[in-house]
Amino acid sequence: MREQPAFLPMKMEEAERLGIDQFDIILISGDAYVDHPSFGTALVGRVLWDAGYSVGVIAQPDWRGDADFRRLGEPRLFFSVSSGNVDSLVNAFTPNLKRRSSDVYSPGGRLLRPDRATLVYTDRIHALYPKTPVVIGGIEASLRRFAHYDYWSDSVRQAILADAPADLLVFGMGERQVVAIADRLAAGEPVGALTDIPGTARRVDLKTWRSMDQAEYVVLPGYAEVKEDRYAYARAFALHYNEQDPIRGRPVAQPHPKTVVIQNPPAMPLSGPELDRIYELPYARRAHPAYTEPIPALEPVRFSVVSHRGCFGACSFCALTHHQGRIIQSRSVDSIVREVERMAGMPEFTGVVQDVGGPTANMYGIHCGRWETAGTCPDRRCIDCPVLDRSHEEQLRLLRRLAEIPGVKRVFIASGIRYDLIGPEDREYLAEVCERHVSGHLKVAPEHVAERVTASMGKPPREAFDAFRERFEALQAGKKKRQYLVPYLMSGHPGCRMEDMVELAEYVRDTGLYTEQVQDFTPTPMSISTTIYHTGLDPFTLEEVYVPKGREKRVQRALMHYRDPANYALVCEGLRAAGREDLIGSAWNCLVPARPGGGRPTRAGPNPRQTRRPPR
């Protein structure tokens, strides 16, 4: 087994110092190379190195020429291509399709990656090394593995394997897959024989497909059909959504004009010991020393810890079901303690663990006895299941152990908590989290309060958030320095009409909640909400769903910031469209004054539900 280097090599001079004249595998990424377990290139590279393979990194190559792609030569086994930690188009554009001016995953925040980076890099590398296998992965490839609605071109695009000259696609968390690919190629198998690796997708030509036993596959409506027929698109989504379980999932195929894309069932989740090993590899938690400018994305997570993977929340606008899956995979407390002890020994460490969590921090340690043998239930959501053990004892035990480590002053939960997992019986848990692991603000994500919108989002109803908010406020009684809830809210989601946004604005008015964290819905590939946005149909019932688009989305977002004078005209437009002109004027409950620049509405008396907002 090879000894892990201080950093994965980015130049042949570094490789030569390690005694390497040809890499086994070369990773190409749209991100700068940061050696931290929150960055996919570092994680995959360290795992492959741990498996005995030499790995080089080409980070943010200049795609307009060949020099960067030739820098490390030709690998012995394969190239791996990823757009980086985020989808390159989500990274490049705001929800209203304005191009961003910086990239936090690049040195100095400079713009160094192309749009549709996976396609661009794969085209270039295949042209230069046509006989070398190319494997694509990461979030951009993973969520484009079938025909999909593309918000940026407002069209249905082919599966990425129908466009990219790649041999295999790795979807989901890819550690098992890349090691299996490397092992089998190293054993002499041709890449065309790697047809059975869970968590991968491939393509076959139409002639081969016609000769195969198609009864073994869940066959989706083809690209030509889903492109033209919204009902076919919705049916296709529901079919492949239902196969995204590693135990009960079946192979899925989708015909395209020149090829057929075949997805194997998802890879099995990593066990606790496997996760421990991966996250205890010797990450430097620094950017590669070749960089002379800081990488902005590093500092917010440098001293954060991944405690688990997976999320069973099943929010409609989230694609985690298709990427990390619903099964929670938790690391051991001892492993996380060892990781934080190493962090505490770094000279840059100031005593603050920035975050301990995963997609949802308080799902750590939660487990269902069915997951290992039967997978997740096909007919119910785990979040609603009364059988699921929702105990927070393991998370509390973890947080207490971390707080006892010498040199650690504070251990924060910055990744947010799922409030509907915290019941009245969890008062001790909530009190301890607020007292020791939250600074001034506790992040939660109700997203909305209107009943039909929360139903469309797959979020709990308003009553669940109200009950949690009351429990949180009760904990603030008598505190000299109170804390505040910071709710994540969303505008423009499918199912949301103008009157629903007015209801949310009134809720914000009456509760005094802090509303800086408002996101305009962005239709990203392979989520339920994106399917509804494109088709206007619930993919599981095929019932019609109202979808706000165009200017209405702008107005809906403005209603969340009704206090901002710059939004005055849009807010008035939204209130009139909802038939709520009564909220324009000088009465205490009005959202805006009768005239721009007029006096702000004032309350006639105190509102018993009002709580102070944190300072801006």
544-565 pLDDT, tens digit each: 999 999 999 999 999 999 999 9
Domains in the chain (CATH in brackets) are: 12-206 (3.40.50.280), 440-616 (3.30.750.200)
Phi/psi zone of residue 116: left (φ > 0), alpha (ψ -120 to 50 degrees), beta? Answer: left
- Poorest-confidence range of 297-306, 535-544, 594-603? 594-603
- Count of alpha carbons within 13 Å of 230, Cβ hemisphere only? 14
> Does pLDDT of 600 surpass 70?
no
> Does pLDDT of 509 surpass 90?
yes
Mean pLDDT of 322-348: 95
Q: Which two tokens stand for residue 379?
A: 């007919």
Q: CA–CA separation, 490 vs 501, rounded Å?
A: 9
Predicted model pTM: 0.93
pLDDT for position 322 = 82
Reported residue count of the chain is 616
Can you list the positions of beta strands (E) in 60-146?
Answer: 78-82, 134-137
Q: CA–CA separation, 510 vs 466, rounded Å?
A: 12
Location of structure tokens 């030709």: 74
At residue 300, what is the residue type? P
Q: Which two tokens stand for residue 556?
A: 């809906």
Q: How confident is the model at residue 263 (pLDDT cuts 50, 70, 90)?
A: very high
- Count of alpha carbons within 13 Å of 233, Cβ hemisphere only? 28
DSSP strand pairing (200-204 vs 260-263)? antiparallel
**Comparing C-alpha atoms, which of 168, 104, 105 is closest to residue 135?**
168
Mean pLDDT of 485-508: 95
Q: CB within 8 A of 38, min separation 6: which ones?
A: 85, 301, 304, 306
Following DSSP, what letter does each residue of 163-177 receive, concatenated? HS--SEEE-SS-HHH
Q: How confident is the model at residue 11 (pLDDT cuts 50, 70, 90)?
A: very high
Q: CA–CA separation, 492 vs 375, rounded Å?
A: 34
- Poorest-confidence range of 12-16, 126-130, 349-353, 438-442? 438-442
pLDDT for position 613 = 38
> Does pLDDT of 342 surpass 90?
yes
Q: What is the pLDDT of residues 130-149, one digit of tens each?
A: 999 999 999 999 999 999 99
pLDDT for position 1 = 64
Following DSSP, what letter does each residue of 540-564 receive, concatenated? TT--B-----THHHHHHHHHHTTTS
| Helix, strand and coil in the chain, % to nearest 5 | 35, 15, 50
Average pLDDT, the chain: 93
Phi/psi zone of residue 460: left (φ > 0), alpha (ψ -120 to 50 degrees), beta? Answer: beta
Location of structure tokens 């020791």: 436
**Comparing C-alpha atoms, which of 222, 288, 207, 286 is closest to residue 252?**
222
Element (H, E) at 55: strand 55-59
Q: How confident is the model at residue 6 (pLDDT cuts 50, 70, 90)?
A: very high
Q: What is the pLDDT of residues 452-473, one digit of tens each?
A: 999 999 999 999 999 999 999 9
Location of structure tokens 């570094």: 14
CA separation, residue 7 to residues 160, 224, 281, 340 (Å): 31, 46, 12, 20
Q: CB within 8 A of 559, min separation 6: which ones?
A: 491, 498, 501, 502, 504, 505, 570, 571, 574, 575, 591
Q: CA–CA separation, 556 vs 198, rounded Å?
A: 42
At residue 287, what is the residue type? A
Mean pLDDT of 405-431: 93
**Dihedral through CA 373, CA 379, CA 380, CA 385, nearest 10?**
-50
Phi first, then psi: what are they for 389, rounded to 5°?
-80, 110
DSSP annotation of 421 reads: G
Q: CB within 8 A of 37, min separation 6: which ones?
A: 43, 46, 278, 279, 281, 283, 306
Q: CA–CA separation, 26 vs 192, rounded Å?
A: 19
- Selected residue with higher pLDDT from 557 and 390: 557
| Residue 383 and residue 313 in contact, taking contact as beta carbons nearer than 8 Å | yes
Q: CB within 8 A of 187, min separation 6: which ones?
A: none
pLDDT for position 609 = 38
Angle at which helix 462-475 crosses helix 427-436, to 10 degrees, equals: 60
Q: What percent of the chain has pLDDT over 70?
A: 97
pLDDT for position 601 = 57
Q: CA–CA separation, 245 vs 374, rounded Å?
A: 10
Q: CB within 8 A of 442, min separation 6: which ones?
A: 417, 433, 434, 472, 483, 484, 485, 486
pLDDT for position 440 = 84
Q: What is the pLDDT of residues 155-164, one digit of tens each?
A: 999 999 999 9
End-to-end CA distance of the chain: 53
Q: How confident is the model at residue 209 (pLDDT cuts 50, 70, 90)?
A: very high
